[in-house]
Amino acid sequence: MFVFFILFTSSFVALDAFCPVLCNCTIKDFIACSGTSIRDIAALSIPSDVTYVYIGHTEATELTNTSFQETPITVRLFLEGNHFSFIESGVFQKFPLLKSLKLSNNNIRSLPPGIFHRLFHLEQLILERNAISDLDPYIFQNLTDLEQLMLNRNMLRQLPAGLLDHLVNLQILYLSRNKLGSLPKYIFNSLFKLKSLTLYENRLSELTSGMFDNLTELQELHLYANAIETVDKETFYNLPKLNVLTLHRNGIKTLPEGLFLYLPSLTKLTIYGNPLTELPSVLFCKMENLTNLWLYRTNLMTIPNFVFSNLTDLKLLVLTQNQKLQSLPKDAFSGLSKLQELALHSNSLEFLVEGLFQDLQQLQTLSLYSNKLKDLPENLFHPLINLENAYLNKSELMTLPGTFFKSLTKLKKVRLDGNQLQPPVMIDIQCFKSLSPG
């Protein structure tokens, strides 16, 4: 017992003795150092026998070739929330087995050539939230095992051609929130395994054919909040596994014919917030997984017949806040047999043709408020046998046929307030479960 106590005590003292001041070593193989009193990383004397090193939220401003000793077993090195602005090219050569390197939220403006050349096993590189404005074209050339590269929230204005050519195992690439105005034509051509690409909140002005051609494994593509005005017809032709495509808040006025014809796996598509003036008659392929489509804040005056007819599983369609949308053709919603909610409010619709809702037998909620309708055809709502909620308030209605809601046995709520309905208004409500006029 006495011998065991001596051995245990000696082990504890030895462990505690090797833990640097201002660091925490309570977890096995892990060291965490933080605090504003840390100004020199080398002075910490990080031990060489830890697998995970965290140094964050210090006042240190530089990483030099002497900041660390040889650390042959370290696989994760997190250096986030510091003030690093100067980094020497050999600082990471002492981490031969490193798999994850995080340098986010520092003051890094540039990276020296060759800084990552010895990190042959690196799988994750996080450089987000810095001020990096340019990159050496060969800086990633030895990172053939890299799976995640995060360069978002920097100051990048361009990417050099060939920058990503060697990242053949990359699966996640974040380039959002930079200042990219254009991209080299073949910048993504080697990324055969890429699954997620974010380019939102940049300054891209066009999407060209071939830009994404080799990304056959891509599942998410985020392009919203750029300055995109033109999209080539073949931009998305080779993305068979794409689930999510976000194009909202750009400057797109027209969409080319058949733009989304080769995206059968889409579950989410956003094109709202663009100054669209028209839609082509053929736009979508059969998308069995797309259930929601948002198309608001555009300059559309109408939409073509049958434009949504391939979206047979759509459950929510939002066509709102289109100030120039004045009319809809009879077959605008043809084929939407599973649609449950249709939002047409806050437009400038002046009339709705009879038969417009003929295919919408599963519709439960219809919002038409804040339009300029004046009156409506007597049989307009008759096909809507499952309708539960109807919002017709503030639509400038002056008359409404007495049998307008006839046969709608599931109707629960109607809003008619804010109109100019002239008495007497005869509405048969005997079949209603409840009626809410306001």
Specify the pLDDT at position 406.
Answer: 85
Query: Same structural domain for residues 336 and 283?
Result: no
What average pLDDT does this structure show over 83-97? 96
**Domain interval for residue 336:** 291-438
Is residue 304 reached through a cis peptide bond, with omega within 30 degrees of 0 on the bond before it? no
Query: Same structural domain for residues 300 and 432?
Result: yes
Query: Same structural domain for residues 273 and 364?
Result: no
DSSP 93-134: TT-TT--EEE--SS------TTTTTT-TT--EEE--SS----
Residue 132 lies in a domain: no
Residues paired with residue 389 on neighbouring β-strands, in sequence order:
365, 413
Question: Alpha helix locations (H) across 273-390?
Answer: none
**CA angle centred on 319, ends 335 and 364, rounded to 5°:** 60
Residue 318 lies in a domain: yes
Residue 13 has pLDDT above 50, yes or no: no
Specify the pLDDT at position 423.
Answer: 62
User: Phi and psi dihedrals of 9, rounded to 5?
Assistant: -65, -40
Query: Same structural domain for residues 219 and 329?
Result: no
Query: Same structural domain for residues 383 and 264?
Result: no
Q: What percent of the chain has pLDDT over 70?
A: 92
Residue 123 has pLDDT above 90, yes or no: yes
Query: Same structural domain for residues 340 and 422?
Result: yes
pLDDT-derived band of residue 12, with 50, 70 and 90 as boundaries? very low
Which burial class, exposed, middle or buried, applies to 1 when counting CB atoms under 10 A from its CB (0-12, 13-18, 19+)?
exposed
What average pLDDT does this structure show over 218-234? 98
Query: Same structural domain for residues 244 and 281?
Result: yes
Domain boundary among the residues 259, 289, 319 is at 289
Structural element, H or E, at residue 244: strand 244-246
Count how many domains the chain has.
Answer: 2
Domain boundary among the residues 289, 322, 354 is at 289
Residue 404 lies in a domain: yes
Query: Same structural domain for residues 257 and 397?
Result: no
Residue 348 lies in a domain: yes
Specify the pLDDT at position 266.
Answer: 97
User: Phi and psi dihedrals of 5, rounded to 5?
Assistant: -60, -40
Query: Same structural domain for residues 247 and 380?
Result: no
Q: What token pair was written down for 187?
A: 């910048």
What average pLDDT does this structure show over 252-274? 97
Q: What token pair was written down for 359?
A: 């295919």
Q: Considering the chain, what is the average pLDDT of its residues?
A: 92
Structural element, H or E, at residue 53: strand 52-56
Residue 176 lies in a domain: no
32-40's contacts with Cβ under 8 Å and 24+ in sequence apart are 32/56, 33/58, 34/58
Domain boundary among the residues 263, 289, 315 is at 289
Query: Same structural domain for residues 296 and 437?
Result: yes
Query: Same structural domain for residues 263 and 379?
Result: no
Residue 299 lies in a domain: yes
The CA radius of gyration of the chain, in Å to the nearest whole number, is 30
Domain CATH for 310: 3.80.10.10
Residue 336 lies in a domain: yes
Q: What token pair was written down for 118?
A: 């010895």
What pLDDT, in 10s, does the model give residues 320-336? 999 999 999 999 999 99
Specify the pLDDT at position 189.
Answer: 96
Residue 223 lies in a domain: yes
Query: Same structural domain for residues 402 and 414?
Result: yes
Specify the pLDDT at position 17.
Answer: 55
pLDDT-derived band of residue 346, with 50, 70 and 90 as boundaries? very high
What average pLDDT does this structure show over 278-293? 96
